[in-house]
Amino acid sequence: MTGIQDDHEERHRRPSEWETAWEVLAPVTDLVTPMAVRVAATLGLADLMAGGAVPVEELARRSGTDADALGRLLRHLACRGVFAEREPGRFTVNAPAALLASDHPARMRERLDLSGFGGQMDLAFTGLLHTVRTGEPAWETVFGAPFWRHLAADPRMSASFDATMAAGAEYAADAAGECDWSGARHVVDVGGGAGTLLAEVLHAHPGIRATLVDLPDTVERGRRYLAGRGLEGRCAFAGQSFFDPLPAGGDVYVLRRVVHDWGDDEAVAILRRCAEAAGPRGRVVVIESDDGSGDDPALFAEMDLRMLVLSGGRERTVEDYIAVTAEAGLGLTGVRTTPLGQVVLDCVPAGPTTVTRTP
């Protein structure tokens, strides 16, 4: 009690200084509300209140929680504008809370669920101090194993990761629509996850065949997804690491949102495998979310830090990609920005680094 009491008395002695400091720092230091929202998402509270206002005791029964603790959680969130307390002890969904419903197209519940990849990704930041002190990813410190090994050992978390990466089908369509598939008969999607990009490519180009490359469990999920789209017959499946030799014979080797997961040494190794498989007549296409030159440098900076904390990866500028592709034996020949802000980098094995940038 002494510490809390001393803090309370200190605020009363110097209210103007404390309040001014809090007004400045509170928006970037509050951990209570973000965690409370994630707990509400994890418990599915928006779904459990779908029929209208629910007494907290009944809501606790439905969610398997303690009624007193749940009431405190919801009262805090209601004061922050998420959920509403229509009368004492009865809570209901309001417009912000409705975003946490399982069937909302934004899929925020899945993104924030502490038992899934989205929530675990956020919890990794409790190890940020370790990352800043050492330059190493925090994931292993927080969860006990390096990022990729952790996912490989936990099929449920791996599936959650794949689902998170597959979210936003419009981005897969955006990338597929902006790549140059002219002359391509065989596209190899390296680290292609559940096959969302390949589905868009195969649907739009009936003459193309494809190979999906990813770890075995992920490839099986991709097989089921493409079968559901009626495209499995035009796709081969290679369950393997992309650090091993890749299936040869493709015209285009695609890496979508893969290279930024890795540090420079690993990125070069992956790109070199693509260059080897593509041979002198093939192409390598790298697709990433941003290159830091857009209108939102804050997003680039956040993702750059996030990739370091999770897996030791990094976001890169075009100049950075020129360096890693050149070291891998690739020449960068063109850069395009898609309508949704993704960056498409065209490379050829042992080719020139003469870059044409298209908006």
- Pairing state between β 252-256 and 209-214: unpaired
Q: Which of 104, 130, 150, 260 is the catalytic position?
A: 260
| 7 CB-near residues (< 8 Å, 6+ apart) | none
Is residue 12 annotated as part of the catalytic site, yes or no? no
Q: What is the phi-psi region of residue 283: left when phi exceeds 0, alpha when psi lies from -120 to 50, beta otherwise?
A: beta
Question: In angstroms, rounded to a whole number, what is the distance separating the alpha carbons of residues 212 and 225?
Answer: 12
Q: Position 213: which residue type?
A: V
Residues pairing with 285 in the sheet: 254, 346
Question: In angstroms, rounded to a whole number, what is the distance separating the alpha carbons of residues 322 and 327?
Answer: 9
Which sequence positions are flagged as catalytic? Answer: 260
